[in-house]
Structure 1
Amino acid sequence: MSLFYENFRDFEDAGKTILEYLHNHLGFNLWMITRTEGNDWIVLQAKDSGYGVKAGQVFNWADSYCSKMVLGKGPRIAHDSKKIPLYEEAGINKVVDINAYIGQPLLNEDGSVFGTLCAIDPSVQPKSIEQYSDLLELFSLLLSRILQNEIKINEQKRISEKFEMESLTDHLTGAFNRRAWDKLLDLEESRCKIYGHSITIIVIDLNDLKYINDKFGHLKGDQMIQETVQIIKRTVRSNDLVARLGGDEFGILNIETNLENTQKLANRISESLKQAGINAAIGVAARQPGTDLQQTVVEADKQMYRHKRQIKDMSQ
């Protein structure tokens, strides 16, 4: 089949080509490539001719047919899905009209579920669509392999990008400067849109820098800034990105982690800063599907200022 000999540029290109092919040859109103992240079922790509579903939309994973399919509790092809009790009871039916379903898991290298290649249609389909099971499995294996290779490549790209940004560092602390921060946000935002992975942001603001500068001089203030960055770098993971965003404000870009783990990290940083006698306000936010990392930074900023007000209120 000529499709297999096409020179796919990447996972995104392969996905678009495969969705187009399946839509043209098997029908079905909606074909999707999805990512599951916690209880979010994120649409990475969609070939839609009736449902109005677009890339970036998020559904509830537990409500989906796919959540049953990947556990082996429901068939990968259901020409009349309402005859499958678990599918008939699924919460997704309250959102969209489904009478036929196709699903195949997309796997990470360790065998865990990344997401799915799937299709739905409002009409019952001929039982003969079951003859395409081998083809569908082949496509899911192909996409999984491309995905796994790209994830490895992206890990190396991140390392290279950090080295390339070495010239864009803050002279006082050695952390990335604001220009590098913005560039790295843009690079990770592009990956988020393609792969749907989770990213969180921590924003840290020093509460007493002006007081320290005024009372003890700027040299003492500079030492506090340097110590803050040293503490942050000792605490974060090796693939997290640390930047000085302004005079007394710092940002941490946490790649492929969730809000719960990031909050634990923020708590460890806060405790270490307190032990060093550094008073800081900290805000944490996770990128939400359908938003972008710049909006996440704004939300983390809001949380930081909320924390700053709490500290001020407690000190009065």
Structure 2
Amino acid sequence: MDIKLAESSAPVAGFGSFEDASRSLLTYLQQKVGLDLWMVTRTVDPYWTILEVAGSKFGIQAGAVLSWSDSICSRMIAGLGPNIVPCLEDVRQYMEAAVALTHGLGAYVGVPITYSDGSLFGTLCGISTQKMDEAILQYRDEIHLMARLLSTVLAFELERDCLERSIDAFEDDLRSKRRNGALGVGDFFGALRREGERGRRLFTPVLVGVIDLVLEPGKTPSSDYDVVTHKLSFSIRTNRLARGTIGKLSQGEYGFFVCELFGNSAIQYLAMLENMLGDLGVKATVRSEQMPAGSDLPRYFEEFLGRGI
């Protein structure tokens, strides 16, 4: 039996990144389903970051950082309404969302994008000022399938980022051996720059901090600094919650940052850090901040240092 080949037998390339997949699917959805604006978003409460868009209405562009609580998506995730709403007036909880009131929305579509463990990463969503025909409901399964595809591509991209960080950490370990486990100032800011470039793709949440050890020069032997530095560095670089990067900024002062750490996990991390310092038997002050979404990591850390305690 002869098999007729399609007119074009050129191979179809796969998606090279989460960004590539997002743009392609958003363009497809806008062309096929309609709605004024389609978005792929990331949620790190209280931030709702727009990663990619298709459509120019509302003035919302990729890279915009909005309030998660103002979105309809936050209410959808909370179970206050369905994934597809042809007429927004039918769902009071959605109509009361700040974004709906601000833009006079008439229709909404939204489904979650998840991490590999099922927890929320963000949403695939669409909005329109006009009400939509009930026929839009026929795309429910297709839109859910696209969200699952994005979740799968996301998992591979995050795994790649994790591998890159592991390689960076190995190289940092080699550099830090000369300083009892902590990077020097130059290497530490180099690590900040690398992570800042990597994190721009997915607006990676980062916890930054400074540890000031209360050790008295002249009364505290220099060997004690070395012991504390080594144990502190080892704890941050191998913490079971998240592997961080630490640098010695000056005698008794250490900067650190930890990627993909926020919310309750960040609170647990800082509690473990405080407990570890207590176990070392030294007094210390720890100050930290969650870097706002969309910030430039090296610049933000310098500003954080400048703010002091």
Q: Could you state the TM-score of these two structures normalised by the residue count of structure 2?
A: 0.82
* Equivalent of 1:114 in 104, 108, 121: 121
Q: Which moved more, 1:114-123 or 1:188-197?
A: 188-197
Shift of 1:145: 0.8
Mapped partners of 1:257, 1:140: distance in 2: 23
| Structure 2 gap segments, 5+ residues each | 1-7
- Which has more helix, going by share of residues? 1
* Equivalent of 1:19 in 16, 26, 32: 26
SS of equivalent residue, structure 1 residue 294: helix
Q: Which moved more, 1:70-79 or 1:26-35?
A: 70-79
Q: Deviations over 1:78-98 (max 9, x none)?
A: 122122222112233244331
- Calculate the aligned-residue CA RMSD, in Å: 2.8
SS of equivalent residue, structure 1 residue 28: coil
Mapped partners of 2:306, 2:161: distance in 1: 31
Shift of 1:150: 2.0
SS of equivalent residue, structure 2 residue 43: strand
Q: Deviations over 1:182-230 (max 9, x none)?
A: 2322332234333334211121245656x43xx78xxx33x24312312
Identity %: 28
Q: Deviations over 1:107-149 (max 9, x none)?
A: 2212222111001111222332222222212211110111112
- Aligned twin of 1:230: 230
Shift of 1:298: 2.8
- Aligned twin of 2:254: 250
Task: Tell whether 2:289 aligns with 1:285.
Answer: yes
Mapped partners of 1:73, 1:205: distance in 2: 46
Q: Could you state the TM-score of these two structures normalised by the residue count of structure 1?
A: 0.81
* Corresponding letter in the other structure for 1:229: T
- Aligned twin of 1:310: none
Shift of 1:52: 1.3
- Aligned twin of 2:58: 51
Task: Describe the shift of the 1:165–1:226 C-alpha distance in structure 2 as closer, same or farther (beyond 3 A).
Answer: same
Task: Describe the shift of the 1:190–1:265 C-alpha distance in structure 2 as closer, same or farther (beyond 3 A).
Answer: farther
Shift of 1:302: 4.0
Q: Deviations over 1:10-55 (max 9, x none)?
A: 1111112212222233332221111122333222222331111123
- Aligned twin of 2:3: none
Shift of 1:7: 1.7
Shift of 1:151: 1.9
SS of equivalent residue, structure 1 residue 125: coil
* Corresponding letter in the other structure for 1:86: Q
Task: Describe the shift of the 1:207–1:70 C-alpha distance in structure 2 as closer, same or farther (beyond 3 A).
Answer: closer
User: Conserved in 2, the CA contact under 8 Å of 1:170 and 1:177?
Assistant: no
User: Conserved in 2, the CA contact under 8 Å of 1:106 and 1:114?
Assistant: yes
* Corresponding letter in the other structure for 2:232: I
Mapped partners of 1:280, 1:22: distance in 2: 53
SS of equivalent residue, structure 2 residue 179: coil
